[in-house]
Structure 1
Amino acid sequence: MLRTMWKGSIQFGLVYIPIKLYTATEDKDVKLRMLHKDCMAPINYSRTCSQCGKEVKNEDIVKGYEYTPGQFVMITEEEMNDLQGELSKSVEIINFVNLSEIDPIYFEKSYFIGPDSNQGLKAYSLLRQTIKDSGKIGLANIMIRSKQHLAAIRSYGSGMLLETLYYPDEVRNMADVPGLNTVITENAPKEIEIAAQLVGQLTAEFKPEQYKDNFRLKLEQLITDKVAGVKPVQKKGAPKTGNVVDLLAALEASVKQSKPRKSAAPRRRKTAGS
């Protein structure tokens, strides 16, 4: 059973649809604790004041903004709630756009949208079917954990999905990447031809179930073996990769390596007349 992480409504024109949001993805990373090497016990961390050195209790902690080094202005919870207003409980669809128009760099996190009550099922179903038939997605603003997000609402399976997006000013400028002004814009035709051939050979239908987090699986196995008292097998280090000197030769070798192996043709059985 998924846990509700947000509750409110979607405003579709003058129609209000009571909904709940559920986190659609989960972090599968293996969590490693920080231990004291001598005692093999977890390290405790306490919140202390950087000025007086005293440990601070949760009820004595407030939020503030550092407007100049060492100088802060305090922002109260009441002030934050006043700024959020009705946006904290409502998702108003402001536009409909084509999904293909949104660059993937803007996508942040996915949430399942579920109906909040039986009374809203008809409106929920209507919005889902309308979005699905239009082939578009709804753009809206939503407040999650004291932060406003741009959000995309789309049909997904038997329900709907809300995906938070970064605002344009949150996406950094590609021009700030060092070295881009020296990138070669013209490549040799032969190199382009071989590179395109390599792409063709590596092209496949996207089947998400065939991709695995191999590092996590190996780490889980290592932990299981250690708990069981099995000593890990020492493996040789990965071969070192040298600098690419001849780009064309490297591309040709890659094409040769990625070619699917042809299965041997079955031998014809001799018949009585052959």
Structure 2
Amino acid sequence: MHTMWKGTISFGLVNIPVKLHTATENKDVKLRQLHKECKTPIQYEKICPVCEKEVNNDDIVKAFEYVKNKFVVLEEEELAELKEEKTDKSVEIIDFVKLEEIDPIFFEKSYYLSPNEGGNKAYSLLRKALQDTGKIGVAKIMIRSKEQLGVIRVYENTLVMETIHYPDEVRNVQNVPNVPAEDNIAKKELDTAKMLIDQLTTEFDVEKYKDEYRTALLELIEEKKANEQVETGKEKPKPDNVTDLMEALQKSLDKTKKGTKGKKKAPTKKKTTTKKKAASQ
């Protein structure tokens, strides 16, 4: 499993060298966009709308738009310095709380924690302490240039860190439109709904839930492949040396024309004839 971060988790005087691994993965079937006419994959270029030309990564700077079309430009050196100040590979557990005290809306992404060299005993100590107390640890960690709030808990004998949103990252529920303020439900309707819930209540078994759309999409793709219903994208033709040479010559010629356009020709001196030279003598 790929290691994406190395550091230490600490609580009190206990330091645990750990590795961080992504616990989940996106299984969505990625579809490419092709030009309908020639079945070539579409490319997206970075174009400056004012200069009307393609922009390279070296010509791009980062900025914060504080009002419409007003920007504070941030230099790479400034961002790197700020990142270095915050990139501490030591993560301190600052609080212990109960898992049920955190609403699921705050949870973001899961990471497995494995012990690094020399960390087995301390890893086992934290795991056992969390299991026996029924608590989870709250900590802060820097991941990909962002300071994350996270909780550390036990999942199937392995420590897991769940990154969670900060309070100001969760939108105010009061702003959700058209939510009825009061329930106006008849008792008979409510009793029927409760009865239905009781009939469908079971123990949660994650293995019985499947992504049926993804399965059907993959089956459709395999069926088309088996029936040879496939397309081959065309490659962009590469200009040969002759074409390059002609283009270079044409550009040079155009540039020369633009440079000489509008310039007045210098007056030419008339040649003195032999007869005039003889008369003067």
The TM-score bracket by the shorter chain reads 0.7 to 0.9
**Counterpart of 2:277?**
none
Aligned partner of 1:80: which letter? L
Structure 2: runs of 5+ lacking an equivalent: 230-281
Aligned partner of 1:198: which letter? L
| Per-residue CA distance 1:171-190 (angstroms, 9 max, x = gap) | 1111111111x354131111
Q: 1:210 to 1:178 in 2, by over 3 A?
A: same
State the structure with more CA Rg: 2
Secondary structure of the 2:53 match is coil
Task: Give the C-alpha shift of residue 51 in structure 1.
Answer: 2.8
**Counterpart of 1:217?**
215
Name the count of aligned residue pairs: 228
**Counterpart of 2:114?**
114
Aligned partner of 1:37: which letter? K
**Counterpart of 1:90?**
90
The reply on whether 1:14 has 2:35 as its aligned counterpart is no
| Per-residue CA distance 1:74-130 (angstroms, 9 max, x = gap) | 22343334434244422210100000111111111100011222x122212211111
**Correspondence 1:197-208 to 2 at 5 A:** 197-208=195-206
TM value normalised by structure 1: 0.78
Q: 1:121 to 1:80 in 2, by over 3 A?
A: farther
**Counterpart of 1:37?**
36
**Correspondence 1:98-177 to 2 at 5 A:** 98-117=98-117, 119-177=118-176
**Counterpart of 1:240?**
none
CA contact (8 A) 2:141 2:147 kept: yes
Could you tell me how far apart the structure 2 residues matched to 1:48 and 1:230 are?
38
CA contact (8 A) 1:80 1:146 kept: no
CA contact (8 A) 2:86 2:142 kept: no
Could you tell me how far apart the structure 1 residues matched to 2:77 and 2:19 are?
24
Q: 1:91 to 1:51 in 2, by over 3 A?
A: farther
Aligned partner of 1:125: which letter? S
**Counterpart of 2:52?**
53
**Counterpart of 2:4?**
5
CA contact (8 A) 2:62 2:74 kept: yes
Could you tell me how far apart the structure 1 residues matched to 2:157 and 2:73 are?
45
Could you tell me how far apart the structure 2 residues matched to 1:124 and 1:58 are?
43
**Counterpart of 2:258?**
none
Indicate the percent of aligned positions where both proteins have the same amino acid.
Answer: 54
CA contact (8 A) 1:4 1:21 kept: yes
Secondary structure of the 1:67 match is strand
Task: Give the C-alpha shift of residue 49 in structure 1.
Answer: 2.4
Secondary structure of the 2:47 match is coil
Task: Give the C-alpha shift of residue 16 in structure 1.
Answer: 2.4
**Counterpart of 1:189?**
187
Secondary structure of the 1:26 match is coil
Secondary structure of the 1:93 match is strand
Could you tell me how far apart the structure 1 residues matched to 2:80 and 2:116 are?
23
Could you tell me how far apart the structure 2 residues matched to 1:60 and 1:168 are?
36
Q: 1:78 to 1:8 in 2, by over 3 A?
A: farther
Could you tell me how far apart the structure 2 residues matched to 1:193 and 1:226 are?
50
Q: RMSD value over aligned CA atoms?
A: 1.7
Secondary structure of the 1:43 match is coil
Structure 1: runs of 5+ lacking an equivalent: 232-274
